[in-house]
Each structure stands twice: as structure tokens, then as C-alpha cells.
Amino acid sequence: MPPLPAADIRRAVRQGLEEDLAQGDATTTALFSRPIPARATLIAQQPMVVAGMAAAVQTFLMVDPSLHLSVSKRDGDRAQNGELLLQIDGDGRSILQAERVALNFLQHLSGIATSTQQFCRAVHDYPVDILDTRKTLPGWRKLQKWAVALGGGTNHRYSLSDGILIKDNHLALLQRHRRPVEQACRLAQRRRSHRLPIIVEVESLSEVRQALAGKPDVILLDNMEPALVRRAVAIIKNRALVEVSGGITLKNVRAMAAAGADRISIGALTHSAPAASVSLVMALARRAKRRRR
């Protein structure tokens, strides 16, 4: 997976620091009037896929370019509980001011990458792709989808322009037609440009049959149990790719893969992945300790 463009990282870091530091740091200013040499270490508190390290580094350096950073784990690396991720040496005031924003990037994005890896491992022996969705935080889509890819997942649409995905609310506006799913697919076939893929969401076997008549590229089985997915796959018979979505968890993802799905899309990868546990431990630099003796 290629790294995120530096411009995207800088933009996200600037936004994060503007939220947190634009009006200054009242606590640090009240406690420390002079530079205070310090060392901070970021430690993994669980097994994880590291994501967001480049953004964390950029955060510290944007606050204070004089900080010295030593990176032990880079984006895409695996880390075990207790392993060192990053060491920062310099003015403790600067480290404190950058701490929360840097950890936000590292914990959130590592959480997404780690969760994605767990889903991918659960179905590793099936020919199925784990996909994300557009259920992302505003302004964070590139970062979140990049973290999914670091964890081994596949990115679905980045925006509404990347494919034709006919969902229940589109179909609700076509209810005057006797077979709305088929009609939607036929309209999309006539009007699409650049051979955009056509994906249609269905909720029953009768809608599966309608979809097949409309010849989409992908039939998305929404909120179906594995047994019903298996029946739908038998009806589709490789005439379209089969995607399943809705209520996918680590407990049922393998059953969905075994039922014959080609793709499994999971909104929870981005909208509710648990943050990875990372701690930042601060201490006075050794030289400062000797001066106090």
C-alpha cells in the first residue's frame, strides 16, 4: 500500500492542531515558563497494525521542528503489546501540546487497520474481499480508507462518482414501476458513463431475480442470513459478483464467506472500529535530572 501523499497528511495535521492549539495551551503555559528538556515514548498497549505514524510525526514537528524523533514502527508495521513505536526528545512543552492530536491519528487509524486485519484473517482461506464503505468521518475519508488498505482490506467507492450503487432509497423513488430493481438497473445501463460498475442492493430472493434481469455487475445482498445468502448465490450462478453487507461482525463474517460471497462490505471498519491502545509516557531528560541533584 503506497503512503498517503504528504500534502494530505499536512492538511489533516493542520486541521487537527487548529482545533486543539489555535488559542494556545493554557495548562502548559501556566506550569512551565521556560523550555524543559524531556523524553516521551509512545508504546503499543495491544497487538496492532500501525497506521497514522507519519501523521503523528508530522504533528510533533509542526508544533516544534526542533524536536528529535526516532521512529521504531512505521505505517503498515505490526507491533506487539509493550513495543516501542516512537521516541521524542526535546522541549516537554512542545510534546505536551502535540500529544493529543498525534495520539488521535495513531490510535484511530491503527484501530481501523487492526480491525480490518482481524476481518481479513477470519476469511483468509476463502476467495473473498473485505471492503470498506463511505461511512467515514467528514474530512477523514482518505486517511480512514488508507488505514483499511494497510490492514489488508479493499477500498469501495471513494465518492458518489466512483460507481453506480442503487440502494433502498433510490428504489423507493421508483416504486411506480412494477419491477423497480430491474428498472433501476436498466436505467443505469442506458445512462452510465465510462463503464462505471453497477451495484444494486436487494433484500429478498425475488429482488435478486429482478436484479439479474437488469444485468448489474454486482448484486449486494443486504442484511441476509448466511443460509439465505447461499440460496441467492445459487440463483445468481456467477452472472454477477455477490456482495453482502449489513450486520457483519467477526462472529458471522466467516459464515458469509462460506456461503459464497465474493465481497463483504463492512461499515464498522471506519465508523466504529475501536481505537488502538497507545500510551505516551513522559519523563525529564537525563541531563535535566542530573542538574537537579
pTM, entire model: 0.93
| pLDDT the model gives residue 24 | 95
Q: One fold for both 6-119+274-292 and 163-266?
A: no
- Sequence-ordered strand ranges (E) for 62-184: 68-71, 78-79, 84-91, 129-131, 164-166
- Annotation marks residue 292 as catalytic: no
What 166-171 contacts at long range (C-beta under 8 Å, 24+ apart), as own/partner pairs, is 166/198, 166/199, 166/200, 166/201, 166/216, 167/201, 168/201, 168/203, 168/222, 171/201
Residue 291 phi, psi dihedral angles, 5° rounding: -65, -30
Tens of pLDDT, residue by residue over 101-129, are 999 999 999 999 999 999 999 999 999 99
| pLDDT the model gives residue 194 | 78
| pLDDT the model gives residue 288 | 47
pLDDT at 79 over 70: yes
Whether 210 contacts 236, CB under 8 Å: no
Helices (H) and strands (E) in the chain, counts: 12, 12
| pLDDT the model gives residue 210 | 96
| pLDDT the model gives residue 241 | 98
Tens of pLDDT, residue by residue over 10-44, are 999 999 999 999 999 999 999 999 999 999 999 99
Tens of pLDDT, residue by residue over 189-207, are 998 887 899 999 999 999 9
- Sequence-ordered strand ranges (E) for the chain: 37-44, 48-49, 68-71, 78-79, 84-91, 129-131, 164-166, 198-202, 218-222, 241-245, 263-265, 278-284
Catalytic residue among 77, 222, 225, 231: 222
| pLDDT the model gives residue 289 | 45
pLDDT at 1 over 70: no
Q: What is the rounded CA–CA span in Å between residue 211 and residue 144?
A: 31
- Annotation marks residue 78 as catalytic: no
> What's the whole-number average pLDDT of the chain?
95
**Torsion from C-alpha of 213, 218, 220, 224, nearest 10 degrees:** 80
Catalytic residue among 134, 135, 179, 215: 135
Residue 291 pLDDT level (bands cut at 50, 70, 90): very low
Average pLDDT over residues 240-251: 97
- Annotation marks residue 251 as catalytic: no
Per DSSP, the three-state class of 252 is coil
| pLDDT the model gives residue 177 | 83
Average pLDDT over residues 234-239: 97
Check whether domain 163-266 has CATH 3.20.20.70, yes or no? yes
Catalytic residue among 10, 14, 167, 291: 167
- CATH number assigned to the domain covering 6-119+274-292: 3.90.1170.20
- Where does residue 80 rank: exposed (0-12), middle (13-18), buried (19+ CB within 10 A)? exposed
Residue 293 pLDDT level (bands cut at 50, 70, 90): very low
Q: Where are the domains of the chain?
A: 6-119+274-292, 163-266
- Annotation marks residue 142 as catalytic: no
| pLDDT the model gives residue 2 | 67
Tell me how far CA of residue 133 lies from CA of 9, 82, 116, 211, 245, in angstroms.
Answer: 21, 32, 12, 21, 10
Catalytic residue among 99, 132, 182, 201: 201
| pLDDT the model gives residue 149 | 96
Catalytic residue among 74, 100, 179, 231: 100
Question: What would the grid cell of residue 115 be?
Answer: 480491525
pLDDT at 175 over 90: no
pLDDT at 169 over 50: yes
What 200-209 contacts at long range (C-beta under 8 Å, 24+ apart), as own/partner pairs, is 200/165, 200/166, 201/165, 201/166, 201/167, 201/168, 201/171, 201/245, 203/168, 205/231, 205/232, 205/235, 207/181, 208/232, 208/235, 208/236, 209/235
Average pLDDT over residues 220-227: 97
What residues are paired with 129 via a beta bridge? 263
Whether 106 contacts 59, CB under 8 Å: no
pLDDT at 290 over 90: no
- Annotation marks residue 64 as catalytic: no
